[in-house]
Structure 1
Amino acid sequence: MLFGSGTDPDPELTWARGVTLVADDGTYPELDHAGLVGVVGSSIAGLDALAFATRHPGLVDRVVLVATPIPEDEGGLGFELSEVTAKTLLLFGAKDPLTGSRHGTWWQKRLLNARLEMSPQGGHDLLLAVWKRVLSHLAPHCKR
């Protein structure tokens, strides 16, 4: 499930990886799905991805946050960050003036199972540039 983008960043790559992508508008639809799912949140929509993961801990096993800013009010999220149990990949751009390494490090310290990767030349609009890495995290052993 992709939060923060209405379209697939690279449909050919997504298909080749064996991933079925569902874009969400933040309404958290109930999924009719047999098996585990991964969620991706780009920019501020990363908070929506985390909220979805905490609402469905038995369903969501992997999360990717791409250039997600530190929340203004951690207590106002509606969930505790310690509730995020999914394996989480944090992707941030080193040249991002909005959410550079400081934001990535903040998330890494607060999410129990998180790995931070910095894109040396990446800015805030990072989703397309890191899409291959996103898919490899969401579906590590899947390919068509």
Structure 2
Amino acid sequence: MRLLMAGTVERVVVLFGSEVDPDPELTWARGITLVGDDGTEVDQPGPFGVVGWSVAGLDALAFAARHPGLVDRLALVATPIPDDEAALGFELSDITAKTLLLFGAKDPLTGSRHGTWWQRRLPDARLEIYPQGGHDLLVPAWKRTLSHLAPHCKR
């Protein structure tokens, strides 16, 4: 895991799909530690919040499936449905994290249809559609994402 922002509270959020912090001011205000996935396993105790943007949302799901006792909250932002659900390597019904699904109604790649698909398959998922949102929803939705992944956390 690659450190993107050191925090002051005991909450770690793992970001899949972006090399940089989507909004450093918002992240700093929450006081969380934000780490980016670099392919190495996490070496900190949980629980974790995990977010995946676009196709990296599939990696975030796989991480949550591998660590059900550590990942308590998950956010998928504009994540496309897989070509083959069986090829995921895990059962979506095994995801135990409280999940927030954020999709843009004007996203030509995913849109609300993909969000509805995920909501039907993940046990504890809430779908929110941004009426004017496109595929690049990570930055505009970062405040909402952090409020889900790190509730009650403030510097």
Q: Aligned to 2:33, which of 9, 15, 20?
A: 20
Matched, 1:51 2:25: no
Task: Please state whether the residue corresponding to 1:140 is helix, strand or coil.
Answer: coil
Deviations 1:6-61 (A, max 9, x none): 00001111010121110113x2x222223310110000000000000010011100
Matched, 1:38 2:31: no
Amino acid at match of 2:120: K
What TM-score does the superposition give when structure 2 sets the normalisation length? 0.89
Stretches (4+) displaced over 3 A? none
Cα RMSD after superposing both structures: 0.8
Distance 1:134 1:120 in 2: 17
Task: Please state whether the residue corresponding to 1:92 is helix, strand or coil.
Answer: strand
Structure 1: gaps of 5 or more residues: none
Deviations 1:105-137 (A, max 9, x none): 000000000000001110000000000000000
More strand by share: 2
How many aligned positions are there?
142
Distance 2:77 2:109 in 1: 12
Structure 2: gaps of 5 or more residues: 1-13
Q: 1:61 aligns to what?
A: 72
Q: 1:11 aligns to what?
A: 24
Q: 2:144 aligns to what?
A: 133
Distance 1:139 1:40 in 2: 11
What TM-score does the superposition give when structure 1 sets the normalisation length? 0.96
Task: Please state whether the residue corresponding to 1:22 is helix, strand or coil.
Answer: strand
